[in-house]
Structure 1
Amino acid sequence: MAPPGTHETSSSPSKDRQPNGADTALIIAVAAVASCLIALLIALVAGGSVTAQVIPGLPDPGALTRWGLPLSKITMDLSAALTVGLLILAVFLLPATKGMLGGKAQGYVRAASWSALIWAVAAAATLVFQLSDLLGLPPGEVLGNELTSYAGSVPQGIGLMFVILLATAVALFGRTVLTSTGAFALVAVSLAGLVPPALTGHSSSAGAHELAVTGLAVHVLAVAVWVGGITAVTFHGLRSDAEHVPTAVTRFSRMALWAYIGVAIGGLASAISRLYSLSELFTTAYGLMILTKVGLFAVLGAIGWWHRRATVPRIAENGGRALFSRLAGVEIAIMAAVMGLSVALSRTAPPPPRESEVDPVFALLGFPMPPPISLDTLLTLWRPDLFFVLVVVVLGGLYAAGVVRLRRRGDDWPWTRSLAWAAGLLTIVVALLSGLGTYAMVLFSMHMIQHMVLSMLTPILLVLGAPVTLALRALKPAERRGDRGPREWLNAFLNSRYSKVITHPAVATSIFVISPYALYFTPLFPQLMSDHLGHLFMNVHFLLAGFLFYWIVVGVDPAPRKVPYLLRFVLLLLTMGMHAFFGISIMMQSEPLAMDYYGQFDVPWSDGQVDDQYMGGGIAWAVGEIPTLLVTMAMMVQWARDEERTERRRERHSKRDGSDDADMDAYNAYLQRLNERAKEQG
C-alpha cells in the first residue's frame, strides 16, 4: 500500500521516466518470448514428448503436430493471459468516472480484443493439432467430419470449442465496450475461457478428482491474473503518456499477493493428485519438471516481496518507475519460462497409477468403496474437496475480517449473526467434506441428506448472517470520487437489472421449487453424478438456489425489492408443500432412480437401491419441517420488529408535525368506550 500522505501523478513527466520506454517494452517482450521458447524446448526434449522413437506400423501424426501442438498451446496460454491482464488493468487498476472507462482504459480494452482474437486462432490450431495427435494422422487429414465429431462429442474438443467461442466473443464485444460494467463482463468471460482446457486435461483423469480438477483450475486462473496483470501494468508504466501509474501498481500489488497464493494452492493440489509418492519428484521427468517450477516460483515470490517492500512505495512517491520496470521485466521473463515449462509438463506423461487406483470404483469416485456406514466412518472418512475447502476458508475469512474492521473502528456487530454465519459454514463442512459427503456418492439416502442440508439449512444460516450488510458497512468507499472499488461494485450488483429479475419472488421461488423435480426425475441426475464437475455444479446450485429463496423470505440484507411479510409466509408454505410432495414422489417410485450411475458399482453392505431410495424420499419429506420452523420463527421476530419501527416512525412524524393521528386516536377512544360499556353491563 502507498504510505499516508503520498499522492499520485497523472501525465506529468517524472524524474525517472525513461525516454526510451518503447524500446524497453520491446526488450522485455523479446526476452519473455525467448525465455518461454527456450524453457519449452528444453522441457519438451527432457520429457521425451518430441524425441520419442517412432515405431514402424503404429500411427504417427508427424513432426508438424509434435512441434505445432505445444507451440499453439503456449500461444493460446500467453494470449489468454495478456487478454485477462489488459482487461483487469482497464476495469480494476485504472480509475473510472461514474461507471465509464477512461480513455487509456478504453484503449486497453481494444488491445484486449486483438489479443483475444489471437487467443481464438491459437485455440483453433490447438484443436486441429490435438486431434491429429490423438488419431496419429497428419493435421491435413483430420479436417472435416473427424474434426467436427471431435469438437462436438469428446470432452477435450468440446472444451476447446468453448474457448474459441468465448475468446471470439471478447474479441468482438471488446471493440464497443465503454462502461466499467461491460468491461467487467468481458473479464468474467475471459476468465471462464481459461477453465475448459484445465478441466479436460490431466486433471480429468487423475485419481483424486476433488484435488486435481479444482486445483488445476485455480492454478490456471491465478497464473493468468498474475502474469497478465504484471505484464499489462509494466507496459502501462513504460508509456510516455501513462496516467495513474502509482494507483495501478499499488492496486495490482494487492491483487498479485492473492494470485501468488492461488498459484501455490492450485499447483500443490495438482502435484499431489498426479504423484503417488514423494520419491517420484526426483525419479521421474514429470516430478523433476515440477521441482523446476517450484524453484522458479520461489524466485518469483522473492521478486514480488521486493516489489511490495521497495519499488511499490517508491513508485507511490514518484521515484521508482525505472527500478520497477527493470525488476518487472525480469519477473515477466521468468513467468514466461514457467508457462513454457507448464505446456511441456502437459505433454509429459505423469507417473502411472498404482494397482489400487486402477480399481473401477476408484476411477469413478476418486476413492475406494467405503466400509459399512457407522458413526466412526462418518467422522473419519473425510474427502479433500478443494473447491469447498476454499469456499469455506474464503467466506469465513472475509466475514471475520469484516467483523474485525467494524470492531476496530468502534462499531458493533451482533454476535448472533456471526454465530449464524459460522454455523452455516460448518454445515457445508459436514455435508460435503466429512464422511457424509463420502457416503453421498454411493447411497441415495445420504445424498438426499446432503441435498436437504445444502438447500434448506445452510442457506438459512448464511442468510441470517447478513453478509451483504456486513460488507456494505465494512468496505471503504473508493478513494477517488466516481471510481469503483469493492463497495461500489457490490452496490452496482444489488441495483442491477439482473438482481431485480433474479430476486423477484416468482423467479426465486420457481428456481427453488422446480429444480429438484427437473433434476431427479430426468436423465440429468445420473449424468451429473457421473462427472466430478457435474456433481460440483449440482451442489453449488443447491446452495445458490436455497440462498436466493431464503434471502427474499427471511433475509435481513438490503435487497432490490421489499417483499411483504404476508407474501413471504405464502411462499414459505407453498415451497414446503411442494418439497413434501417431492419426497413422497420419490418414495412412490417403483424403479430405482439414476441406475446409469448407481448401477456402475455394487455396495456389498447396502440393503439395495430400492430400499435406500425409499429411505431417501422419506428424508426429503420429513427434513423440511425443521427449516420451516426456523424460518417461521425468524419471520415472526422480523415482522414484530418491523411493526415496532413503523410505529416509532409514526410517532416521530406526529410529534414533528405538532399534531396527532386523529383517526387512530378516535378509533382507540371508541374501543375504550366499548370496553367500559361491557364492564358496566357485566
Structure 2
Amino acid sequence: MALTAAGPTTAEIAADWSWRPLVLVPLVAAAVLYLWGVLRVRREHPARPWPLGRSAAFLGGLAVLAVALLSAIGRYDTVLFWVHMVQHLMLIMVAPALLIHGRPLILAMHATHNPWHGRIKRVLRSRVVTVVTCPLVAIPLYAAVVVVTHLTSFNNLVVRQPAVAAAEEATYLLVGYLYLLSGFGEEPIRWRLSRPAKILVLVLSMPIDTFTGITLLMTTTNPWPAYAARSWGPDPVTDVHYGGAMMWIAGDTIMIALMLAALVPWVAGRTRSSARLRLVENARRAAMDRYAAYAPASRPGGGDVDEDEARLDAYNAWLAAMAERDRRHGAR
C-alpha cells in the first residue's frame, strides 16, 4: 500500500493484512494441534474435560500473535518506532502469558500415550530445557534482549533487513515465553517455584522495562536514522519518546497485571486452606462435645478441669474406648 503525505487512513489500516506463510501456517497448525488435544482429552476423560478457560487463553494468544505479525502493526513496526513497541509488548508479554496459561505442554502429555508421552516428558526434563527455563538464566536473557534491541543501533538493521526483523520477532516470543514460564506457568518442567518466588521473578523485570523506557524518553536525538524515511507522522525524536513511554507505562502495567494474576490464586488458595482448617477444628470440637460423657469431673489428685481440658479429655477417652472395643472384637 502506497503511503500518502497524510499517512494511512483508519480504513486502510484496518484492511491492511499481510498473509505471511511462515507466520500463518505455524499459527494454524498450533491451533489445530491444540484443539485436537482438547478433543482427545474430552473423549478419553469425559468426566474431566480440558478446561474451557485454558483453551480460550491459548487461542487468544495465537490471535494476539496474528494481530502483532499479520495486521498493520506488522507492516508499520519498521516505519514508526512506537508501533514497533506495541508489537514488542504483544510478542514478549501478552502472547506468551496467554499461551502459557493455556498449558499446551500439560495438554500434550494428557492427550498422548507412550512412546510420545514419555518423549515429551524427557524433553521437558532435559538438561537444555532445565537450563533455559532457570530463572537465573531467563531473567538476564530477557534483560539482554530488551536492552540490546532498544538501546543500541540494532534497530537500524531491523528496519533495513526483513530477515533481521523476522528473527527479532521470533526472539521476542521465545524469550518472553521462557521468562514467563518460570514466573507465570505451571508446566511440568523441573523448576517448581513457590508462588511468592514466581511473583518475585515477575517483579525483577519491571526495572528493566522502566530503565529502558525512561532512557528512550530522555533521548534528544534520533538513535535510528532508518526510521526517518517518511514524510508523515511524528518527528523521529517524538516517535522515540512515544515508544519509550509505551515501554515504561504499558510494559509495567502489563507486568503488574501478570503479578496480580499470579497473586490472586495464591491468596484464594490460602483462604480455602484456612477455611478447611476451621472446618476440621469445628468438627473436632463437635466430636469432643458429643462424647463429653466420657470426661472426668476432675483430674486425679484433685483440681477442676476447665472447659477446653474437659473436651480434650472427653475426646481422648472416646478414642480409648474405641480402641478397647476394637481390641475386644479382634480377640474374638
With structure 2 as the length reference, what TM-score do the two structures score? 0.77
Trace 1:219-230 onto structure 2 (pairs within 5 A).
Answer: none
Establish whether residue 390 from structure 1 lines up as the match of residue 20 from structure 2.
Answer: no
Equivalent position SS for 1:624: helix
Report the Cα distance in structure 1 between the residues aligned to 2:82 and 2:219, rounded to whole angstroms. 14
Report the Cα distance in structure 1 between the residues aligned to 2:26 and 2:68, rounded to whole angstroms. 13
Alignment match, 2:240: 613
Report the Cα distance in structure 1 between the residues aligned to 2:276 and 2:125, rounded to whole angstroms. 26
Query: Given the alignment, which residue of 134, 159, 172 partners 1:504?
Result: 134
Report the Cα distance in structure 2 between the residues aligned to 1:383 and 1:490, rounded to whole angstroms. 34
Cα shift at 1:644: 7.2
Equivalent position SS for 2:204: helix
| C-alpha contact 1:396 1:425 (8 A) present in aligned 2 | yes
Task: Count the aligned residue pairs.
Answer: 276
Report the Cα distance in structure 2 between the residues aligned to 1:449 and 1:637, rounded to whole angstroms. 27
Alignment match, 2:254: 627
Report the Cα distance in structure 1 between the residues aligned to 2:238 and 2:78, rounded to whole angstroms. 16
Cα shift at 1:528: 3.2
* Deviations, residues 269-312 of structure 1 (Å, cap 9, x unaligned): xxxxxxxxxxxxxxxxxxxxxxxxxxxxxxxxxxxxxxxxxxxx
Q: Taking structure 1 as reference, are residues 513 and 374 closer, same or farther at Cα in structure 2, changes over 3 Å only?
A: farther
Task: Name the aligned partner's letter for residue 460 of structure 1.
Answer: A
- Gaps of at least 5 residues in structure 2 are 279-307, 309-332
Establish whether residue 435 from structure 1 lines up as the match of residue 75 from structure 2.
Answer: no
Alignment match, 1:525: 155
- Gaps of at least 5 residues in structure 1 are 1-366, 479-484, 652-668, 670-682
Alignment match, 2:91: 454
Alignment match, 1:471: 108
Report the Cα distance in structure 2 between the residues aligned to 1:380 and 1:501, rounded to whole angstroms. 43
Trace 1:587-598 onto structure 2 (pairs within 5 A).
Answer: 587-595=217-225, 597-598=226-227
Cα shift at 1:374: 3.9
| C-alpha contact 1:520 1:593 (8 A) present in aligned 2 | no
Equivalent position SS for 2:205: helix
Alignment match, 1:66: none
| C-alpha contact 2:210 2:252 (8 A) present in aligned 1 | no
Cα shift at 1:536: 0.8
Equivalent position SS for 1:427: helix
With structure 1 as the length reference, what TM-score do the two structures score? 0.38
Trace 1:56-455 onto structure 2 (pairs within 5 A).
Answer: 368-369=2-3, 372-409=7-44, 410=46, 411-455=48-92
Q: Taking structure 1 as reference, are residues 580 and 604 closer, same or farther at Cα in structure 2, changes over 3 Å only?
A: same
Q: Identity of paired residues, percent?
A: 27
* Deviations, residues 588-608 of structure 1 (Å, cap 9, x unaligned): 11221221x324xx3122232
Equivalent position SS for 2:68: helix
Report the Cα distance in structure 1 between the residues aligned to 2:82 and 2:130, rounded to whole angstroms. 36
The CA RMSD measured in Å over matched residues stands at 2.4
Alignment match, 2:284: none
Q: Taking structure 1 as reference, are residues 553 and 538 closer, same or farther at Cα in structure 2, changes over 3 Å only?
A: same
Cα shift at 1:441: 2.0
Cα shift at 1:415: 0.6
Cα shift at 1:377: 2.5
Equivalent position SS for 2:110: helix
Alignment match, 1:637: 264
Cα shift at 1:369: 4.1
Cα shift at 1:433: 0.5
Establish whether residue 488 from structure 1 lines up as the match of residue 143 from structure 2.
Answer: no
* Deviations, residues 605-663 of structure 1 (Å, cap 9, x unaligned): 22321111111111111112432233122212332465479789999xxxxxxxxxxxx
Cα shift at 1:403: 0.4
Task: Name the aligned partner's letter for residue 209 of structure 2.
Answer: H
| C-alpha contact 2:97 2:180 (8 A) present in aligned 1 | yes
Alignment match, 1:604: 231
Task: Name the aligned partner's letter for residue 426 of structure 1.
Answer: A
Task: Name the aligned partner's letter for residue 232 of structure 2.
Answer: W
| C-alpha contact 1:459 1:550 (8 A) present in aligned 2 | yes
Q: Taking structure 1 as reference, are residues 508 and 642 closer, same or farther at Cα in structure 2, changes over 3 Å only?
A: farther
Report the Cα distance in structure 2 between the residues aligned to 1:630 and 1:527, rounded to whole angstroms. 33
Q: Taking structure 1 as reference, are residues 471 and 425 closer, same or farther at Cα in structure 2, changes over 3 Å only?
A: same
